[in-house]
Amino acid sequence: MNIRSLAIGSLLALVVGGLCFAQASIWHSGKRFAAYPAPAYHGRRHQPSFAGADSANWNMRPVLTKGFASNPLFAGHYVIVTTECQVHCLFAYVGDVRTGRTVNFPLGGAAYFDLQLHSLPTSRLLKARWSTSGATDAKCTGADMVWNGHSFAQTPLPILPGPCPIEH
């Protein structure tokens, strides 16, 4: 190996490493969870309601019932329930475990490729990240979303090159 190929390899590693750092930092950019506190909920978890306005979600009954019972809490007494719609595609619902009410999550479907949601039980902040297109020209973007008990206020994040890192 000559010095020139070593230098090109080092430069490539630096560029790729910087790109990975930029993508990973999208999870740490934007708003902070502690800035949007929600009281911890320790009460009984109710089953989802399918009466009245919630009857439109009847076809999602098995997914919602399981999510209400076992998903981690978000913003105190809520759960985020997701279901796959295709490969790399999610639809989501916000469920209130105190009342059984369910609302559709504002992001989801094929336009939000590899949608990932991060939340904490004691914060009203939810961080959403997704890729804007397929693997060849993918870009990573997202939004910080603050729940007010009825809907989300969204703050878009900058678009970064490459797909979003998958967090587990």
Query: For 121-144, how does the pLDDT look when each residue is reduced to its tens digit (9 = 90+)?
Result: 999 999 999 988 765 678 889 999
pLDDT, residue 135, reads: 58
CA atoms of 87 and 110, how far apart (whole Å) = 9
- Report residue 11 as tokens: 């430069």
Residue 49, domain member (yes or no): yes
Name the residue range of residue 149's domain.
Answer: 3-161
Residue 8, domain member (yes or no): yes
Residue 112, domain member (yes or no): yes
- pLDDT above 70 for 17: no
Per the structure, how many domains does the chain have? 1
Residue 167, domain member (yes or no): no
Q: In this predicted model, what pLDDT tens digit does every residue of 26-80 receive, in sequence order?
A: 566 678 999 999 999 999 999 999 998 889 999 999 999 999 999 999 999 999 9
Q: What sign for the dihedral angle of Cα 15, 16, 17, 20?
A: positive
- Report residue 66 as tokens: 């399981």
CA distances from 25 to 19, 112, 164 (A): 10, 19, 10
Residue 79, domain member (yes or no): yes
pLDDT, residue 6, reads: 32
Q: Considering only 13-17, 116-120, 129-133, 159-163, which range has the smallest mean pLDDT?
A: 13-17
pTM of the full structure: 0.79
Residue 137, domain member (yes or no): yes
CA atoms of 143 and 11, how far apart (whole Å) = 32
pLDDT, residue 74, reads: 96
Residue 168, domain member (yes or no): no
Residue 82, domain member (yes or no): yes
Produce one character per residue of 16-40: b if its CB has 16 or more CB atoms within 10 Å, e if not: eeeeeeebeebeeeebebeebebee
With CA atoms as reference, report the closest residue to 127 among 115, 137, 138, 139: 115
